[in-house]
A and B are shown apart, each in its own frame.
Chain A
Amino acid sequence: MRLFLLDDHEIVRRGFADLLGSVPDIEVVGEAATVAQALARIPACRPDVAVLDARLPDGSGIDVCREIRSRDPEVRCLILTSYDDDEALFAAVMAGASGYLLKQVRSSSLTEAIRAVAAGQSLLDPSVTGKLLERLRQPPQPDSRVSGLTEREREILDLIADGLSNREIGQRLFLAEKTVKNYVSSLLAKLNLQRRTQAAVLAAEIRRDRPTPV
């Protein structure tokens, strides 16, 4: 069974090589550290399974997975991530991968997982995937702290968090600076805040709490 490995951490690639060195039926046929390298090398290596790190310096494993599978649907992909399962699951579903692996040696017995995927199985639990898709279909619920704001006010709050001035926000949204100022006072009043910087802090906190797609 031919395996391709994409991970920007050299020590991780070496670890995989060490692990698979004692596994006779799996052969590492190629490695890459970036999206660009992976897209150039995978078609040439023709692996059965590609293990793709989700976050890379020049892009994401999700894009690599989509691209590779559109060219050759025979290549099975596994998304590799050191974040949590929820994020990994999201990434795998979005990428159209056969499953995901957490960077955790025992969690899902790496070699077992690779063999299963090579045999054409999916590691994704259909009921869990279903729940995820169901959730994705629902419109995103705004954070409860800003649920009292109108859509426009939330949009402006977001731009305040980006450090834009009223004038810049006006230019971005095609609004008069005075109109933006009114929106800002209104959203500050609704959030019971006195200052713009407080709004920026709140928006920053909300961004952190929001589950971010990989």
Chain B
Amino acid sequence: MSELVDRANRIAQTQRTLELLMEANRAILAELSPEAVLRRIVVAARELVGARYAALGVLAADGSLEQFIHDGFDGQHVCAVGDLPRGEGLLGVLVADPRPLRLERMSEHPLSTGTPPGHPAMESFLGVPIEVRGEVYGNLYLTERAAGGAFTDDDETTLLALAATAGIAIENARLYETARRRERWAEAAAEVSSSLLDPGLGGEPVGLIADTVLRLTSADVVSVVVPTGHATFRVLLARGRRAPELEDLEYDAKATIAGLALSTGRGVRVARLEEQPRFTVHVQRVLDVGAALALPLHGSLGSHGVLVVARERGRAPFDETDLELSESFAAQAAIALELAAARADQQRLAVLEDRERIARDLHDHVIQRLFASGLTLEGVAGSSEPATAARLGPVVDDLDLAIQQIRTLIFRLQTSGAARSVRSVVIEAAQEVAPVLGTEPDVTFEGPVDTVADPDLVDDVAAVAREALTNVVRHAGARHVRVSVTAGAGALAVVVADDGRGLGPDARRSGLRNLEERARRHGGGCTLVGLPGGGAELRWSVPL
């Protein structure tokens, strides 16, 4: 009878355990974040089997414990022990031989190293491995059976069942997490590409890339370094902690992870920099760096620089997925940078072509028409009464002036201003005073001014035009200024005429001395005269 009751009790107990196991399975599988899954597993294991303490150790690639999640310890114990176990001693047995391990007394196992001071007393022990995709992911440990005594076969079966669920849940959570990360990186890559290629957005393309990497790798600092061509790198820009101190830093490229990334064209991952004495990271100058990544901005035209990503020492290292995703992001960003740059170049070429076309139109159509009209008017004037001819004269002069101005405009459209010539330096001087003057001075040229002036004379003409115009701006209170440069009759003359106050006090004279000196060096002279209708005219001329 008692046997029957006992068996009925055991069946009821088993059913109860099964129900609890299914409930625990549901709860564990419902979680998506890896941290929450692991915590659920530990709590479920402890409650399900009935133990005082439970823990889950996650294996690192080298066999040590990367993570140790525990339940049942009070805060006092955790503080007293300090460091979490690293997988030596008894915990290491399961690591080396991943099979269920059941002990009545932990202290009697030959490999037991005992517990550190402050650790609660433990005797009964049950440990099972957790496998994910056929590989040992970690171990689940229970100690101090709640009902007393050693853990039973049933306990082991229950814990193994839970460990199987745990393996699936961990795998799911990992897949989910990786999928989320991929998604975030893919979104970021699309965002960066579209904003780099959107001419309206402008902004700093490389800065945008650095910001994105900083955010998605949850790094402390990201810097973009470029090779300088002298076996050194220069920090183009930096984002994150102490970033301003890194910007513009130039450093030796030898034995740096950026150098390695650039030469191989592949991303470099360093989990703990202190374990890689052969390599350095420039970020170490301002921050105690633990983990680092170096990602080449490698596009279709070669490398444009390297993204150096760093976390402070003590933080978790970057994992393989971090490297894989950030590396492919960097490659996409590099191509987007290339496209954006190529487009900017195309736009500049298009502007140059456009200017060329405008210059050609002005030449082919406008000048020809003005000139032809001038010829016709001159013809009419020649066969007219003197009174009519006298009235046509100024009109022809105006047409000629317009032609000269258009010619100057064509010159400006067709040059970028880098080559030094009489024309370019005088136009430049006129453009410089335009903002102060309110209008740009009219500039005209007559005669082969560039043929007659050697580089030395070009320098003097530049200085003369600049000083004369500055004087006008300072003293004359003029509204209109005309600059004409004439080469002919054996001389090169620069004439600057304004409609200002005319010759005032000595102030304007003093500025003249320098100009006179420059003229004298070429055997020429300089005069300043007041004009009858107000204003003044400076004439600087040198013989050729």
Interface residues of A (CB under 8 A from B): 9, 11-12, 14-16, 18-23, 82-86, 88-90, 103-107, 110, 125, 127-128, 131-132, 135, 143-145, 189, 194-198, 200-201, 204-206, 208-211
How far apart are the CA atoms of A61 and B452 in the complex, in Å?
Answer: 24
Interface residues of B (CB under 8 A from A): 229, 301, 304, 338, 341-342, 345-346, 348-349, 352, 356, 363-364, 367-369, 371-380, 382-383, 396-397, 399-400, 403-404, 407, 410-411, 414-416, 418-419, 423, 445-452, 487-488, 490, 544
Contacts of B374 in A (CB 8 A): 15, 104-105
Contacts of B349 in A (CB 8 A): 197, 200-201, 204
Q: How far is the CB of B392 from chain A (nearest CB, A)?
A: 11
B414 in complex: contacting residue of A14, A189, A208, CB < 8 Å: A208
Nearest opposing residue in chain A for B445, CB measure: A84
CB pair A11 B342 closer than 8 Å: no
CB pair B341 A18 closer than 8 Å: no
B352 in complex: contacting residue of A12, A18, A131, A205, CB < 8 Å: A205
A106 in complex: contacting residue of B345, B382, B400, CB < 8 Å: B400
User: Can you list 28 contacts pairing A with B, beta carbon distance less than 8 Å?
Assistant: A12-B375, A15-B371, A15-B379, A18-B375, A18-B379, A19-B376, A82-B368, A82-B371, A82-B407, A83-B363, A83-B410, A84-B448, A85-B446, A85-B448, A85-B449, A85-B487, A86-B450, A105-B377, A106-B397, A128-B544, A143-B418, A194-B341, A195-B341, A197-B341, A208-B352, A208-B414, A208-B416, A209-B418
What's the A-B contact tally at a CB cutoff of 8 Å?
A: 149
How far apart are the CA atoms of A9 and B365 in the complex, in Å?
Answer: 9
How far apart are the CA atoms of A15 and B445 in the complex, in Å?
Answer: 24
CB pair A85 B400 closer than 8 Å: no
How far apart are the CA atoms of A195 and B380 in the complex, in Å?
Answer: 59
Q: How far is the CB of A151 from chain B (nearest CB, A)?
A: 20
CB pair A89 B448 closer than 8 Å: yes
A12 in complex: contacting residue of B372, B403, B445, CB < 8 Å: B372
CB pair B450 A211 closer than 8 Å: yes
What 3 pairs across the A-B complex have the smallest Cβ distances? A15-B375, A15-B372, A22-B382
CB pair B487 A21 closer than 8 Å: no
Contacts of B450 in A (CB 8 A): 86, 211
CB pair B378 A19 closer than 8 Å: yes
Q: How far is the CB of A196 from chain B (nearest CB, A)?
A: 8
CB pair B371 A105 closer than 8 Å: yes
B342 in complex: contacting residue of A22, A144, A197, CB < 8 Å: A197
How far apart are the CA atoms of A18 and B403 in the complex, in Å?
Answer: 19
CB pair A125 B488 closer than 8 Å: yes
Contacts of A104 in B (CB 8 A): 371, 374, 400, 403-404
Nearest opposing residue in chain A for B377, CB measure: A105
How far apart are the CA atoms of A60 and B346 in the complex, in Å?
Answer: 32
Given contacts A18-B376, A127-B490, A208-B352, are A12 and B368 in contact (CB under 8 A)? Answer: yes
A83 in complex: contacting residue of B341, B345, B407, CB < 8 Å: B407
How far apart are the CA atoms of A206 and B415 in the complex, in Å?
Answer: 8
CB pair B375 A128 closer than 8 Å: no
Nearest opposing residue in chain A for B229, CB measure: A189
How far apart are the CA atoms of A105 and B369 in the complex, in Å?
Answer: 12
Contacts of B342 in A (CB 8 A): 195, 197
Contacts of B399 in A (CB 8 A): 105
Query: A9-B372, A105-B396 given. 11 additional CB < 8 A pairs?
Result: A9-B364, A9-B368, A12-B368, A12-B375, A86-B451, A89-B451, A103-B371, A106-B396, A144-B418, A197-B341, A205-B352
